[in-house]
A and B are shown apart, each in its own frame.
Chain A
């Protein structure tokens, strides 16, 4: 099994190398190679799920008694996650064959996807924190490559840079957290060795452990785009839409949740007790609410989905944070939502990609309309995805969200009510999107001439549509999501059920009534909704802050460096020496060569004499 797992990790890397150094000039070959590689990894991942756990590692760096390992931890969690990653990856690759058919840099695109698959696999399989950090950085890099795929476009180049930098800010905290935890847990990075020292932690270290966990959480705040570092994800929609589906919806952005849950499995949830877990849960809660509010006023179809991704990630982070109080079940609820969300959100993004493709790269939903008549199959799959995201029973999204809300109600009622509020907003903005883009009459030429997409794009949509319905049922779920007793078979209606059902009807009904038959947003001029439309002006605020703290400080420091350090302190010293040197220079030949040679010879003479005279 180990060999298969290493192959699972290395296959995409080999594929990317082959594309970069071999078939770069033959786009079709590059695409086929990339698809073949991802199909191969999916088959391996499925094979591994049905086999026993395993682990394998080698020493990557040695310094005396200290080593850094690169290793694979093939437990149920990792194996299940691999099926999600390679499964979504495979469908996105296939969809891309159609979507990117005529792209100028198709080879570079598929090479980038393969690099991403390699990096993501590394995060999932990592058996220690340094290895996870290595691949954590690499997914950030592949995301940078793919967001900036159309780099001639200024906005795409800027978005790629922004994504990388915002993630770096998160990783600043992440690395400190990793180092602190290393010190706290007896200097081990290995997940397998964390449990015993974590159990034996003295009460006196509770604060420092909490700080370390929160710093590690910073990594997740960056990668999973939580408030206040959420600003990169909507901009990342500048990348090709299949990339948004794979990286910025289903897999990479979920890596933060996966990482936190991995830590909970490895070291136990006890290190999340107290302020650390509470803070994480509240950050998740704030993100889920703010993002849902912002989603209600976006006009770009992809941006609505981007904000909804933020919001759903907020749910997951909230659940993982609750694990500090509730124990591992809450974290498992978060993972369960990660798993169902991956399918239906990939479906929605690919569906939006199909729509954008059919409307000749129009992304504004107000210029669409009437697409149901023109592309009924795509619309049907999109409707399924929408229902799953709205958490309509009995689709997959319903079961996982239900669990998170149940955990919140039990352990943190205020967060439950935030979650319930978002459960109204989600169907509201999704209904707005669906009604405006797919129903009514076409409002632009692109939408009028839209046609159903080719099978290579439709088939992935249909497969994802099926999964969006059934993925929560235990027949499929129990072999992929860590074993637990909350799969769809053991459900009884309770208070949470009735509240979320009410929220669904309220939000969806409100959205339908408000937007049916409209050709512009009736809430556009409402000051409150203007605030949502402008994303609470957070982007502007950050730009100001960066301008102030980075560029102004850089300018001031540069000025001081030139005039204070170079000009006065050291320069003064140099000038006085130079004055002395000038005298010598006049005495000597006066040219630079002569001086330099004499200078060198002089120094050698000085050494010689001093040593000799001793």
Chain B
């Protein structure tokens, strides 16, 4: 059944190639994806696990499966994020008719690739789906982008290809060092990676995944790319696809905990680079789109902070807050940044500019737009009641989880304290932008602007509703992350350094596995 989530957009792509109306096809497909995604998540929440997945053997030596399933609650949440943002993205932006095909096909392929990556329970397709989604990202920037599109597309390609290749090397090394019988996460996570290899593998994974998430100092591609790309592509990439790297780190961290821990100080310096360094860069932006692009780079730092807390604790049971915090914040950030990019596109459409100093007083002309943008801006700076706050506050608590009052604060606590200053920084640039665009007297560019039409509002309204629901009741998402005993058992296996025998084939991956030692 999970296969439907991939097939829907792919069928729509085929339909477009065969002459169907591109916009209608994309909207229908993403609509059905949203519907199917919510349904599958509900089934999963109700306890149905076995019949949701598909598993095709693609290659027998070595065993590679096209296996799509919810490996755990994290996959469910990332899938939900993908279908929600895809739905909104397909309903955002206006493209010229001659570009409609490329525009909508790219959008659908990115959505399919993202969902595929998050649902693959096999390392090969986990990687391959992400690559599939990157290609249309490059293409849309290069062909449909604004500004120096060729140069920016080239830069993005170089950076992300660099990240992908390092990542690939890391994954191959991981596969080799673990001695896994096949490439499924299930088998892989049961393996033990020798400590000697962990340090190297961890560095490759960090740089590889990190570049894809715009980890400092590999972040320079992100802001120009988002400013140049058509709005739906920015929404999908910043909101969803970029989370692939974080998802990958959270997924594979248990295999190399000691190696990751040896890079803790480096990770902390880099994540502070994201929050403080890029934070200051963001303050100095003069255009709304570059400001939003940089802010999304900055906010990746908070998710890395949660990952750092997890790394410092070395296991999920020692710091049970860190991983749910990271996932919740990934979700909140994805929805928020998609909403902001979508609304920035509308602002440009209504006024003809995104230069902050050319705007003003738009709230008077377009109160509904101001309300929605204000809500997204507040979500992005962590106002309680909206999804990001719940994630952020849990990240900070996770940061202090390992602190003993008798000892001076450790690396993670210092990083948490410094990261908290980021909340002031985000408030500075977001409120400044809101003040410049919406408040004060109206100016030349805004004097004749009209408010959003109901059709233009609909994607933002959906995203706003999601932010509110998750913000008010974060347990709606967190319930997916209730730890099955399998995780605990796996950690015990790691601690004792005894790899357990492989499970008989055919059992569902997320079913609790009774440990032989119990």
Interface residues of A (CB under 8 A from B): 20, 59-66, 68, 130, 133-135, 137-138, 141, 148, 151-154, 157-158, 161, 164-165, 168-169, 171-172, 175-176, 179-180, 182-184, 187, 204-205, 208, 550-551, 553-555, 557-558, 561, 565-566, 569-571, 573-574, 577-578, 581, 592-593, 595-597, 599-600, 603-604, 606-607, 610-612, 614
CB distance from B114 to the nearest CB of A (A): 15
Tell me if B220 and A571 are in contact (CB < 8 A). yes
> In this complex, what residue of B is CB-closest to A598?
B135
User: Which residues of chain B are near A558, meaning CB under 8 Å?
Assistant: 280-281, 284-285
Q: Tell me if B441 is interfacial: C-beta within 8 Å of chain A.
A: yes
> In this complex, what residue of A is CB-closest to B417?
A176
User: Which residues of chain B are near A176, meaning CB under 8 Å?
Assistant: 417, 420
Tell me if B283 and A550 are in contact (CB < 8 A). yes
User: Which residues of chain A are near B320, meaning CB under 8 Å?
Assistant: 63-66
Tell me if B439 and A157 are in contact (CB < 8 A). yes
Q: Tell me if B450 is interfacial: C-beta within 8 Å of chain A.
A: no
On whether A565 and B217 interact (CB within 8 A), knowing A138-B383, A161-B435, A557-B284, the answer reads: yes
User: Which residues of chain B are near A138, meaning CB under 8 Å?
Assistant: 383-385
Which of B23-31, B248-256, B392-400, B491-499 is near enough to bind chain A? B392-400
Q: Hey, what's the 0/1 contact readout for B189-221 against A, CB within 8 Å counting as 1?
A: 000000000000000000000000000011110
Which residues of B in the span 365-383 have a Cβ within 8 Å of any Cβ on A? 371, 378, 382-383
CB distance from B182 to the nearest CB of A (A): 10
Name the residue among B127, B277, B278, B384 with the largest chain A CB count within 10 angstroms. Answer: B384
Q: Tell me if B479 is interfacial: C-beta within 8 Å of chain A.
A: yes
Tell me if B283 and A596 are in contact (CB < 8 A). no
- CA A610 to CA B142, docked complex, whole Å: 30
Q: Tell me if B421 is interfacial: C-beta within 8 Å of chain A.
A: yes
> In this complex, what residue of B is CB-closest to A204?
B406
Q: Tell me if B239 is interfacial: C-beta within 8 Å of chain A.
A: no
On whether A62 and B383 interact (CB within 8 A), knowing A183-B405, A603-B131, A611-B62, the answer reads: no
Tell me if B280 and A168 are in contact (CB < 8 A). no
Tell me if B142 and A593 are in contact (CB < 8 A). yes
Tell me if B384 and A610 are in contact (CB < 8 A). no
User: Which residues of chain A are near B400, meaning CB under 8 Å?
Assistant: 179-180, 182-183
On whether A554 and B416 interact (CB within 8 A), knowing A151-B440, A593-B139, A612-B62, the answer reads: no
Tell me if B131 and A137 are in contact (CB < 8 A). no
CB distance from A203 to the nearest CB of B (A): 12
**Please, how many residues of chain B have a CB less than 8 angstroms from a CB on the other chain?**
95
Q: List 7 additional A-B contacts (Cβ < 8 Å) besides A168-B423, A175-B420, A596-B138.
A: A137-B383, A152-B439, A165-B424, A557-B284, A599-B135, A604-B128, A612-B59
On whether A154 and B441 interact (CB within 8 A), knowing A62-B475, A64-B320, A64-B321, the answer reads: yes
CB distance from B447 to the nearest CB of A (A): 13
Q: Tell me if B325 is interfacial: C-beta within 8 Å of chain A.
A: yes
Q: Hey, what's the 0/1 contact readout for B21-65 against A, CB within 8 Å counting as 1?
A: 000000000000000000000000000000000000001011010
On whether A61 and B176 interact (CB within 8 A), knowing A168-B423, A600-B131, the answer reads: no
User: Which residues of chain A are near B281, meaning CB under 8 Å?
Assistant: 554, 557-558, 561
> In this complex, what residue of A is CB-closest to B324?
A63
Tell me if B405 and A557 are in contact (CB < 8 A). no
Tell me if A574 and B158 are in contact (CB < 8 A). yes
Tell me if A184 and B378 are in contact (CB < 8 A). no
Q: Hey, what's the 0/1 contact readout for B442-481 against A, CB within 8 Å counting as 1?
A: 1000000000000000000000000000000111001101
Tell me if A168 and B427 are in contact (CB < 8 A). yes
Tell me if B139 and A596 are in contact (CB < 8 A). yes
- CA A569 to CA B216, docked complex, whole Å: 12
With beta carbons under 8 angstroms apart, the residue of A62, A66, A151, A187 that contacts B439 is A151
CB distance from B369 to the nearest CB of A (A): 14
- CA A62 to CA B481, docked complex, whole Å: 9
User: Which residues of chain B are near A153, meaning CB under 8 Å?
Assistant: 440
A-B contact pairs, 5 of them (CB 8 A): A64-B320, A164-B427, A165-B431, A557-B280, A574-B162
On whether A557 and B438 interact (CB within 8 A), knowing A62-B475, A565-B220, the answer reads: no
User: Which residues of chain B are near A65, meaning CB under 8 Å?
Assistant: 320
> In this complex, what residue of B is CB-closest to A104?
B364
- CA A604 to CA B59, docked complex, whole Å: 14
On whether A63 and B478 interact (CB within 8 A), knowing A176-B420, A578-B154, the answer reads: yes
Tell me if A554 and B284 are in contact (CB < 8 A). yes
User: Which residues of chain A are near B439, meaning CB under 8 Å?
Assistant: 148, 151-152, 157
> In this complex, what residue of B is CB-closest to A603?
B131
Tell me if B134 and A600 are in contact (CB < 8 A). yes
Tell me if A205 and B405 are in contact (CB < 8 A). yes
Tell me if A66 and B220 are in contact (CB < 8 A). no
Q: Hey, what's the 0/1 contact readout for B243-285 against A, CB within 8 Å counting as 1?
A: 0000000000000000000000000000000000110110111
Tell me if A172 and B423 are in contact (CB < 8 A). yes
On whether A592 and B475 interact (CB within 8 A), knowing A65-B320, A558-B280, the answer reads: no
CB distance from A212 to the nearest CB of B (A): 9
- CA A367 to CA B441, docked complex, whole Å: 28
Tell me if B127 and A607 are in contact (CB < 8 A). yes
Tell me if A614 and B176 are in contact (CB < 8 A). yes
- CA A581 to CA B153, docked complex, whole Å: 13
User: Which residues of chain A are near B482, meaning CB under 8 Å?
Assistant: 62
Tell me if B161 and A599 are in contact (CB < 8 A). yes
- CA A187 to CA B162, docked complex, whole Å: 43
Which residues of B in the span 136-151 have a Cβ within 8 Å of any Cβ on A? 138-139, 142-143, 150
CB distance from B172 to the nearest CB of A (A): 6
CB distance from A214 to the nearest CB of B (A): 14
User: Which residues of chain A are near B442, meaning CB under 8 Å?
Assistant: 152
CB distance from A26 to the nearest CB of B (A): 15
Tell me if A151 and B424 are in contact (CB < 8 A). no
Tell me if A607 and B162 are in contact (CB < 8 A). no
Q: Tell me if B389 is interfacial: C-beta within 8 Å of chain A.
A: yes
Tell me if B384 and A577 are in contact (CB < 8 A). no
Tell me if A557 and B277 are in contact (CB < 8 A). yes
CB distance from B179 to the nearest CB of A (A): 11
User: Which residues of chain A are near B284, meaning CB under 8 Å?
Assistant: 551, 554-555, 557-558
Tell me if B393 and A133 are in contact (CB < 8 A). yes
With beta carbons under 8 angstroms apart, the residue of A64, A151, A171 that contacts B363 is A151
> In this complex, what residue of B is CB-closest to A576?
B158
Tell me if B397 and A179 are in contact (CB < 8 A). yes
7 closest cross-chain pairs (CB), A and B: A64-B320, A157-B439, A566-B220, A134-B384, A554-B283, A557-B280, A558-B284
User: Which residues of chain A are near B283, meaning CB under 8 Å?
Assistant: 550-551, 554
Tell me if B423 and A62 are in contact (CB < 8 A). no
> In this complex, what residue of B is CB-closest to A175?
B420
Q: Hey, what's the 0/1 contact readout for B282-304 against A, CB within 8 Å counting as 1?
A: 01110000000000000000000
CB distance from A270 to the nearest CB of B (A): 16
- CA A581 to CA B217, docked complex, whole Å: 22
User: Which residues of chain A are near B441, meaning CB under 8 Å?
Assistant: 152, 154
- CA A593 to CA B142, docked complex, whole Å: 8
User: Which residues of chain A are near B479, meaning CB under 8 Å?
Assistant: 62
> In this complex, what residue of B is CB-closest to A596?
B138
With beta carbons under 8 angstroms apart, the residue of A165, A578, A610 that contacts B172 is A610
- CA A208 to CA B421, docked complex, whole Å: 20
Q: Tell me if B428 is interfacial: C-beta within 8 Å of chain A.
A: yes
- CA A172 to CA B162, docked complex, whole Å: 37
Tell me if A179 and B135 are in contact (CB < 8 A). no
Tell me if A592 and B142 are in contact (CB < 8 A). yes
Tell me if B280 and A553 are in contact (CB < 8 A). yes
With beta carbons under 8 angstroms apart, the residue of A59, A62, A152, A600 that contacts B132 is A600
Tell me if B421 and A172 are in contact (CB < 8 A). yes
- CA A557 to CA B165, docked complex, whole Å: 30
Tell me if B435 and A596 are in contact (CB < 8 A). no
Name the residue among B64, B158, B320 with the largest chain A CB count within 10 angstroms. Answer: B158
With beta carbons under 8 angstroms apart, the residue of A179, A187, A600 that contacts B396 is A179
> In this complex, what residue of B is CB-closest to A189?
B397
User: Which residues of chain B are near A161, meaning CB under 8 Å?
Assistant: 431-432, 435
CB distance from B143 to the nearest CB of A (A): 8
Tell me if B420 and A62 are in contact (CB < 8 A). no
- CA A524 to CA B236, docked complex, whole Å: 61
- CA A43 to CA B421, docked complex, whole Å: 41
